[in-house]
């Protein structure tokens, strides 16, 4: 199962603004009427419950929203670019690849996060008109869509997670109590990937996750377990199964617990239910090994059989109760501190001295304004100068030591400084 994928999400580009002048028969001088470009489409990720893996992202690495349309004459605004919604399995956590920061935790179906903004549409020449500049011959280009590399990590969410040695009977139990149909066989490592089942208890239900068996060293990467120990982290309750026919149930139990602890000591706090399985093989032996184990762990150990149903109803009732309590506790707690949306970009600007003839201006609004201006158009340079003056950028550059003729970088554009 692919449970990690890296993809690039790209918002659509904004449409370009238009330079146009109103023309009508017998009207000698029409005003500017170039419309604005439309906004580029956005990229969303949405959790759904009918996709279970990140498999499709193995081949599809780029997800691009639609571009905005260009502005038209008669103040026609270009169409918005179409948004793109990418479906991911519920339980997907999204990280920024570059700095590893978590961006969103898409836990439940319907959870949605915006991962790439579309570029803004460029202004048409009409927007630049003012009382002192009534007929601008320039317009702005559309802003490029945002591009972001993200890592998706699928973390299975389950109310109850099954842990135990290979062959302990985990899959058999899941098959007996839920709607799931896992592979079962009399050899270890039958289960190669986690599987989720729904268990009905009266009017309530909980989910149970069958996990690959753990072996000694799993926490260091041996066997299949390690990959999936991270799923254990997202279970509310753990059901630890021990094969009653094992010659040494205490050692079996300790081995698993120490691997879980080595993986993450916080997992010690997850509520446990312990049961010895396969009681139908020999009820006396099962009871004896449960008693030995109970003495060792100083708590209750249940005796069950997925084959003949021994102890299963009582086990389900207990699990349902524990899950109910854990859910209530989770509802009281604030959700995991993963922001659902990135904080908005810095709106203020800053000036940096790169060397004595090169300066850099940072700040989303200022930079994207300059980037969007088409300096080949008549009057565009003056428009840039006017706005930079008004926003205080020129003054700040002067304070930083900029002189006539020095270069100033705004994102992808470098302009000569005009003091």
Q: Which residue is nearest to Mg ion (CB)?
A: 191
Q: How far is the CB of 175 from Mg ion (least distance, A)?
A: 9
Contacts of residue 255, Cβ cutoff 8 Å, sequence gap at least 6: 165, 214, 215, 216
From the list ligand GTP, Mg ion, none, pick the one residue 90 interacts with, judged by a Cβ distance below 5 to 8 Å according to partner type: none
Q: How far is the CB of 166 from ligand GTP (least distance, A)?
A: 4
Q: How far is the CB of 188 from Mg ion (least distance, A)?
A: 9
Strands (E), 244-378: 271-277, 302-303, 350-355, 358-362
- Pattern 108-147, ligand GTP, x by CB under 6 A: ----------------------------------------
Q: Is 133 in the site for Mg ion (CB under 5 A)?
A: no
Closer CB to Mg ion, 173 or 274, in the complex: 173
Strands (E), 107-177: 112-116, 147-154, 158-164
As a whole number of angstroms, the distance between CA 319 and CA 273 comes to 8
As a whole number of angstroms, the distance between CA 175 and CA 332 comes to 33
Using CB under 6 A, which residues numbered 159 to 188 contact ligand GTP? 164, 166-172, 184-186, 188
Q: Which residue is nearest to ligand GTP (CB)?
A: 213
Closer CB to ligand GTP, 221 or 416, in the complex: 221
Q: Is 190 in the site for ligand GTP (CB under 6 A)?
A: yes
Contacts of residue 163, Cβ cutoff 8 Å, sequence gap at least 6: 170, 211, 214, 232, 238, 239, 240, 241, 256, 260
Q: Is 213 in the site for ligand GTP (CB under 6 A)?
A: yes
Among 8, 53, 133, 190, binds Mg ion (CB under 5 A): 190
Using CB under 6 A, which residues numbered 216 to 255 contact ligand GTP? none
As a whole number of angstroms, the distance between CA 128 and CA 349 comes to 22
What DSSP string runs through 200-266? EETTEEEEEEE-PPP-TTGGGT-TTHHHHHHHHTTEEEEEEEEETTSS-HHHHHHHHHHHHHHH-GG
Closer CB to Mg ion, 114 or 168, in the complex: 168
Q: How far is the CB of 11 from ligand GTP (least distance, A)?
A: 44
- List residues binding ligand GTP (CB under 6 A): 164, 166-172, 184-186, 188-191, 212-213, 277-278, 280-281, 305-307
């Amino acid at each position: 199962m692919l449970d990690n994928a890296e993809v690039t999400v790209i918002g659509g580009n904004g449409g370009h603004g238009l330079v146009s002048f109103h023309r009508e028969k017998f009207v000698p001088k029409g005003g500017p009427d170039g419309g604005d470009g439309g906004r580029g489409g956005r990229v969303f990720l949405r959790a759904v419950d009918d996709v279970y893996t990140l498999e499709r992202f193995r081949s599809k690495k780029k997800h691009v929203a639609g571009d905005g349309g260009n502005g038209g004459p008669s103040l026609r605004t270009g169409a918005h670019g179409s948004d793109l919604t990418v479906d991911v399995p519920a339980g997907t956590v999204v990280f920024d690849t570059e700095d590893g920061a978590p961006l969103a935790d898409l836990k439940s179906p319907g959870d949605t996060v915006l991962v790439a903004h579309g570029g803004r549409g460029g202004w048409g020449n009409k927007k630049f008109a003012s009382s002192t500049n009534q007929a601008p011959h320039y317009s702005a280009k559309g802003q490029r869509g945002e591009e972001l590399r993200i890592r998706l990590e699928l973390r299975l969410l389950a109310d109850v997670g099954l842990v135990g040695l290979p062959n302990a009977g985990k899959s058999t139990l899941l098959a007996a109590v839920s709607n799931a149909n896992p592979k079962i066989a009399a050899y270890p490592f039958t289960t190669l990937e986690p599987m989720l089942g729904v268990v009905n208890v009266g009017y309530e239900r909980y989910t149970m996750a069958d996990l690959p068996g753990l072996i000694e060293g799993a926490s260091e990467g041996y066997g299949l377990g390690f990959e999936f120990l991270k799923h254990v982290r997202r279970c509310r309750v753990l059901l630890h199964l021990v094969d009653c026919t094992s010659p040494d149930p205490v050692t079996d139990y300790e081995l698993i617990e120490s691997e879980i602890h080595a993986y993450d000591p916080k997992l010690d706090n997850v509520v446990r239910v312990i049961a010895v399985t396969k009681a139908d093989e020999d009820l006396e032996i099962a009871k004896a090994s449960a008693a030995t184990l109970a003495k060792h762990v100083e708590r209750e150990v249940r005796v069950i059989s997925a084959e003949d149903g021994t102890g299963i109803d009582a086990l389900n009732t207990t699990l349902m109760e524990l899950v109910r309590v854990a859910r209530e506790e989770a509802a009281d707690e604030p959700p995991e501190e993963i922001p659902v949306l990135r904080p908005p970009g810095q709106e203020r600007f800053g000036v940096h001295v790169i060397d004595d003839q090169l300066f850099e201006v940072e700040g989303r609004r200022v930079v994207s304004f300059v980037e969007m201006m088409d300096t080949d158009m008549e009057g565009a340079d003056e428009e840039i100068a006017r706005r930079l003056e008004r926003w205080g950028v020129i003054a700040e550059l002067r304070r930083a030591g900029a002189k006539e003729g020095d270069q100033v970088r705004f994102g992808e554009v470098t302009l000569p400084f005009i003091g």
